Structure 1
């Protein structure tokens, strides 16, 4: 097995070192307790940690009990042929695990780009579980068709964190009970059996954080995610691996402790959160290039499940999607707990019907933010018809508005409407990004125009911030 390397002398000028300095350097590292030395070695790639056995007698067996093991077939002699490289990697992992003492493993990482031997993977994962591994990362990128992990993994009593990146169909066992698993990340996995998938997502009694990235639900119709202690859920799906099943899958999410929910994707599937879930924060980002009735319905159902959220961030594409389902707009839920609402992705049309419907359902909204600016559609002629009927939050709760933009000049009409509608507004912050060499006269003219805008709120102040790039400096005017 080729695990050693030839250490060549550096081609530099020789420097005279005092014997005292050499002895002092040896003392500083060599006299450290073995526990600290193992801790230091655990930050090295496992191949480098093993190489330290050549340093001296004392270092010979220090590596065999380091708490973290990291195996990757990428750095193993890239100039070797693929077959030989894979053999070298497998032999190396076998030898490290064989020579390891009985101490526990804290973190075990396995990344394989070219390995095809499933039985070897089973053996390595089983060995890590026997050593009471707490954090396990498995990244396998070259297996095709179906793949199964050892059954002992799914009943491991020590595991607290599990990360799976296996772009193939994952065969699940019938018995699943992760009694201590708190963090679970699943990337590119295909679930094909509805009953076993349900068993898997029901065997997570103490799970707190779950991330699902570009997973495929194959021909499944319904998936239930039920984790009583789940605090954070992130779903990312921009790769459509579900194209054969146009209807998608209904993913039902249960969890009374859920506080944060993030979704980014193209709404291939329908996600339903139970309305009893009281979220602190929800971030929804979609890019619906060709909105359909199905996508509109999925967006409506997703918003319906977020009715109790306190902070909601939407991309403006969600609003555009809702426009295609005009019959659903009147049935949007009331967001009675929503205090912070923000829009990103693109500039928001202030006179859009969907935006008005959302604002009319946020009676307690206090903060409103437009990350990419606001505008009026070209067919808007009468300002009185915009944001009418006026949302109740504009006259009772809305105290703070922030607008980010690349130029104030194009937004004056839209800002004027906000100032005329928000009765209790205390502050509107307009943050404009300008090039360092921008026209000073234009900036001063914009300041004057903003200052002269009428405000229905007597206590409202306008704060204009100029951020200059690439210098990164900021200039602020209070009007």
Structure 2
């Protein structure tokens, strides 16, 4: 029995050796690319595989740091010191990624913050043409971006940053257009072209009125706001090409002013409730080509007055008006609750009396897709509404219309 166990282990070890030998035949560039997908701790350990691998980790252009993979913060700081000391200074650093989940705010703002600042300064000074991408993944409000912002924006080493991703960070004292916080904002990222905020909390601004998230990022082209919490938002990007907003964790007001925006994705919008004088959604998108919109809409409650429902309908009409230059429009209606809509409760039926007295605003629309999620039957779109969408475009023969249900 024991002999069979030893034989099995030898057999498994021989396979590992063969796999390492096979990988070792690849050129350095490919192996560096492979190592760019693992954390720095694992990358350094590959140096024990063979002589061929001894120094490969020193030239990896991507640094992925995961502090929680170390038993103590002291051992993580020691790892960082040794890594930066022995890494090849000839190889530029292009991407730096941190995963600081699991640490308290004090830890993230203390030892981790200093270590991250040290890493960023090293990466920026050894990046040749400049650091391209920075990513910080936190753990809800335990990780505040402002703790790292001073280290990121100090000096000129951050100026070339082109892409940034923040996940589960708390931006409670980062106001992007307030000079009071000039030293701890993205104001210095003049060349930033891509920004992704995922599960970030911007609730600090709820009592300050609207703020322009990207107003000081003149070259930003790609923006994602995914599952973020915010009260009141302005997005004004002169060079913005595509925008994705998904499931904002609050029925917030926002205004999007993007003269060059080509692609828009708004998913999980709450358009059927909370519409009042304090909630507005304004869109100014004259160059829009493609829009993919999913609206969550609830069945009217018995206590909602006709006036209140009219406000909802007109808010929806105003929302559609902001899309009037689009070429391809996908509208998905996702009901809240288990019951099917009655015919007159379907959102497009509720606006038919409004649109029949209006001129069709969609002058470039060629493709229209209307979808219903969690419904037992396909949507029945009134003629007046189809006319509202389709008759304003001169190229009627090129139009494509599809009505469909989405599977659960």
TM-score normalised by length of structure 1: 0.60
Q: Aligned with 2:390: secondary structure?
A: coil
CA displacement 1:331-381 (0-9 Å, x = unmatched):
58511111110111244443x54x622433422669xxxxxxxxxxxxxxx
Hey, what's the Cα distance between the residues in 2 that align with 1:363 and 1:16?
71
Hey, what's the Cα distance between the residues in 2 that align with 1:333 and 1:359?
7
The residue number in structure 2 matching 1:272 is 282
The residue number in structure 2 matching 1:310 is 327
- Are 2:136 and 1:128 equivalent residues in the alignment? no
Task: Return the match for 2:259 from 238, 256, 261.
Answer: 256
1:166 Cα deviation after fit: 2.4
- Are 2:225 and 1:215 equivalent residues in the alignment? no
1:215 Cα deviation after fit: 1.9
- Are 2:136 and 1:108 equivalent residues in the alignment? no
Hey, what's the Cα distance between the residues in 1 that align with 2:123 and 2:379?
58
Contact 1:178 1:205 in 2 (8 A): no
Hey, what's the Cα distance between the residues in 2 that align with 1:216 and 1:60?
46
Evaluate the alpha carbon distance shift between residue 325 and residue 90 of structure 1 in structure 2; reply closer, same or farther with a 3 A threshold.
Answer: farther
- Are 2:88 and 1:96 equivalent residues in the alignment? no
Task: Name which one, 1 or 2, has greater alpha-carbon Rg.
Answer: 1
Q: Pairwise mapping of residues 340-359 of structure 1 onto structure 2 (< 5 A)?
A: 340-345=367-372, 346=375, 347-350=377-380, 352-353=381-382, 356-359=384-387
Task: Return the match for 1:171 from 148, 170, 173.
Answer: 173
The residue number in structure 2 matching 1:68 is 62
Contact 1:86 1:115 in 2 (8 A): no
The residue number in structure 2 matching 1:336 is 363
Hey, what's the Cα distance between the residues in 1 that align with 2:398 and 2:56?
62
Q: Pairwise mapping of residues 47-446 of structure 1 onto structure 2 (< 5 A)?
A: 47-56=41-50, 59-72=53-66, 76=69, 84=71, 89=76, 92-93=79-80, 95-97=82-84, 99-102=86-89, 103-116=91-104, 117=107, 118-126=109-117, 127-132=119-124, 133-144=131-142, 147-148=145-146, 149-151=148-150, 153=152, 156-172=158-174, 173-174=181-182, 176-191=187-202, 192-193=204-205, 198=211, 200-218=213-231, 220=232, 223-237=233-247, 239-240=249-250, 248-249=252-253, 251-265=254-268, 266-267=270-271, 270-274=280-284, 277-290=286-299, 293=309, 295-316=312-333, 320-321=346-347, 323-324=349-350, 328-329=354-355, 330-331=357-358, 334-345=361-372, 346=375, 347-350=377-380, 352-353=381-382, 356-363=384-391, 397=397, 402=402
1:322 Cα deviation after fit: 5.2
Hey, what's the Cα distance between the residues in 2 that align with 1:361 and 1:100?
60
Hey, what's the Cα distance between the residues in 2 that align with 1:89 and 1:196?
41
Contact 2:73 2:111 in 1 (8 A): no
The residue number in structure 2 matching 1:11 is 8
Evaluate the alpha carbon distance shift between residue 162 and residue 316 of structure 1 in structure 2; reply closer, same or farther with a 3 A threshold.
Answer: same
Q: CA RMSD in A?
A: 4.1
1:263 Cα deviation after fit: 0.5
CA displacement 1:96-147 (0-9 Å, x = unmatched):
3454443432222212321122234433443225423311221101544965
More helix by share: 2
TM-score normalised by length of structure 2: 0.70
CA displacement 1:219-260 (0-9 Å, x = unmatched):
x4xx321222111101112533x6xxxxx32x2212221101
Task: Return the match for 2:37 from 43, 51, 56.
Answer: 43
Contact 2:201 2:230 in 1 (8 A): yes
CA displacement 1:59-87 (0-9 Å, x = unmatched):
4443233111223356x37xxxxxx4666
Evaluate the alpha carbon distance shift between residue 403 and residue 138 of structure 1 in structure 2; reply closer, same or farther with a 3 A threshold.
Answer: same
Evaluate the alpha carbon distance shift between residue 227 and residue 142 of structure 1 in structure 2; reply closer, same or farther with a 3 A threshold.
Answer: closer
Q: Aligned with 1:360: secondary structure?
A: helix
Instruction: Extract unaligned runs of 5+ from structure 2.
Output: 125-130, 175-180, 301-307, 336-344
Hey, what's the Cα distance between the residues in 2 that align with 1:158 and 1:10?
55
CA displacement 1:207-226 (0-9 Å, x = unmatched):
111111122224x4xx3212
Instruction: Extract unaligned runs of 5+ from structure 1.
Output: 1-7, 78-83, 243-247, 367-392, 407-432, 434-479
The residue number in structure 2 matching 1:427 is none
Q: Aligned with 1:357: secondary structure?
A: helix
| Count of aligned residue pairs for this structure pair | 347
Hey, what's the Cα distance between the residues in 2 that align with 1:145 and 1:56?
39
Hey, what's the Cα distance between the residues in 2 that align with 1:205 and 1:196?
22
Q: Aligned with 1:287: secondary structure?
A: strand
Contact 2:139 2:169 in 1 (8 A): yes
Hey, what's the Cα distance between the residues in 2 that align with 1:10 and 1:232?
58
